[in-house]
Amino acid sequence: MEHYLAFLHQYGPRFVDGTIVTIQQTVFASLVAIVLAFCFGLMRLVPLRIAQITATIYIEFFRGTSLLVQLYWIFYVLPLFGITLDKFVAGFLSVGMCLGAYGAELVRGSIQSVPRGQYEAALALNMSPAKRMMRIIFPQALLIMLPAWGNLLIELLKGTALVSLISVTDLMFQAKQTNAVTFLSVQNFGTALIIYYLMARLVVAPGMRTFESFWARRMGRG
């Protein structure tokens, strides 16, 4: 135990710096994923054929290919076509675009899970399609999709570990760099493992449960 405390005293600041970068990556990737998920999820439902095809191509491509390959394409291949992104931006963009494809299916499925009677009631009130979606359908669909979104955001957090492969100085990058110097694999990767678990268990999961409870109360189901 004393040896581990000495290890943390010496290398702890590196893990703190890496954790901050991981949190930043998670926040930005989450924003990208949420925006893309709702945009393409709704596009799957509109009666416009070109919108449905575009959404399907995006969803199937990013669900059907490896996140690691997508990361390498965005960071290493796009510059060959004149599109160069900073490694930090390439990191959260890759993770967000990949997880956004899974989120799009959650959005589509949740909206389609709203009972048909809710649509018919909104039509009876002569609501426009936009007003019907925002006032009646979407609030109920959001309550349905929130538990699955909690799991998805935890997966997103864990997926950010891959950005270390393009030298983003996140938690995993710092763990690997420290291990290359100390050769203390148990301490280095054990510390990273604990930090990832604590972020998922004490931040992401409780945050999503709190929001889910708040939305349920707002919908009169709490």
In terms of residue numbers, what domain contains 179?
2-218
Is the model's pLDDT at 222 over the cut of 80?
A: no
When mean pLDDT is compared across 76-85, 117-126, 167-176, the lowest value belongs to: 117-126
Domain count, the chain: 1
Q: Are 168 and 89 in contact (CB under 8 A)?
A: no
pLDDT computed for residue 64 by the predictor: 93
Confidence of residue 194 (pLDDT cuts 50, 70, 90): very high
> Which of 81, 70, 4, 79 lies closest to 32 in space, CA to CA?
70
> What mean pLDDT is predicted for residues 82-93?
95
pLDDT computed for residue 117 by the predictor: 85
> What mean pLDDT is predicted for residues 103-129?
86
pLDDT computed for residue 26 by the predictor: 97
Helix (H), strand (E), coil (C) string for the chain: CHHHHHHHHHHHHHHHHHHHHHHHHHHHHHHHHHHHHHHHHHHCCCCCHHHHHHHHHHHHHHHHCCHHHHHHHHHHHHHHHCCCCCHHHHHHHHHHHHHHHHHHHHHHHHHHHCCHHHHHHHHHCCCCHHHHHHHHHHHHHHHHHHHHHHHHHHHHHHHHHHHHHHCCCCHHHHHHHHHHHHCCHHHHHHHHHHHHHHHHHHHHHHHHHHHHHHHHHHCCCC
pTM of the model: 0.91
Q: What CA–CA distance (Å, rounded) separates 168 from 24? A: 11
Confidence of residue 151 (pLDDT cuts 50, 70, 90): very high
pLDDT computed for residue 130 by the predictor: 80
CATH number, residue 204: 1.10.3720.10
> Which of 36, 70, 72 lies closest to 55 in space, CA to CA?
36
Kindly report, residue by residue over 18-73, the tens digit of the pLDDT: 999 999 999 999 999 999 999 999 999 988 999 999 999 999 999 999 999 999 99
